[in-house]
Amino acid sequence: MAQFDRLTERALRGFASRTSRRSVFSILGGLLAGAAALPLLPVARGAEGGTNSDDPNSGLVPPQYSGNPQDPGDRTKCDYWRYCAIDGSLCSCYGGSITSCPPGTEMSPITWIGTCRNPADQRNYIISYNDCCGGVAWGRCACQNNRGDRPVVRPQTNNEITWCFGTKSQSYTCTVALILGVAIEQK
């Protein structure tokens, strides 16, 4: 027991001789400030950034808005209105845009065409989904909404098909969404 007391006394005296009371405060202060700074790290921002926690693309690319109230929504998100019948990856996430292919890829002239309702004016627009081909498919911003999609026995109205016909490369990269016109309202 006396040996235990001696060992404890020596350890505590050694600790006291190596440290000051001020250094204890500095360590405690560092811990407090560090804890407060943790939510500012990018990891925490990524987790909180998206409004839709199911969206795996949250925080991957900066948002893209038209700036026009007649064309609302973030074009890097799957819930943007023109993507209602898309099946693929969004070119807006690959250095392209809603109407242009990323550098190094070629837009297929052969397309899958559907209609989507614009929430700004509640009208249906005819949308052409052109695949961009010849680049690397990273699988980023994958989006499957499939409105109006038909089984593959009707290939011209099936969006599972990679529409890289008429391009040099048949390797799929991503898809853009062009407006062809406004659909006639049918009852």
Partner 1 sequence: MAVGALSLAPLAHIARIGEAAESTPPSDAPAGVMNAQLAWQNWALNCQGCHQPDGTGSANAAPSLAGNVAKFLRIPGGREYLGRVPGVANSPLADAELAEVMNWMLWRFDREDLPSNFHPFTAAEIAQLRTRPLRLEASPMRNELLKKTAASGPP
CB-CB contact of 125 with 116 (8 Å):
yes
Contacts of residue 84, defined as CB under 8 A and 6 or more positions apart, other chains included, come to 114, 116, 117, 127, 145, 147
Active-site option among 87, 112, 149, 163: 112
CA distance 98 to 129: 10
- CA dihedral defined by 63, 57, 137, 148, rounded to 10 degrees? -90
CB 152 within 8 A of CB 109: no
Among 157, 160, 162, 171, binds partner 1 (CB under 8 A): 157
4-63 residues in contact with partner 1 (CB under 8 A) are none
Q: Is 117 in the site for partner 1 (CB under 8 A)?
A: no
Stretch of residues binding partner 1 (CB under 8 A), selected from 8-16, 27-35, 42-50, 110-118? 110-118
Residue of 131, 138, 149, 163 with catalytic role: 131
Compute the least distance from the CB of residue 172 to partner 1, in Å. 15
Q: Which residues bind partner 1 (CB under 8 A)?
A: 66, 68, 70-71, 99, 109-115, 118, 121, 123, 125-126, 128, 150, 154, 156-157, 163, 165-166, 178-187
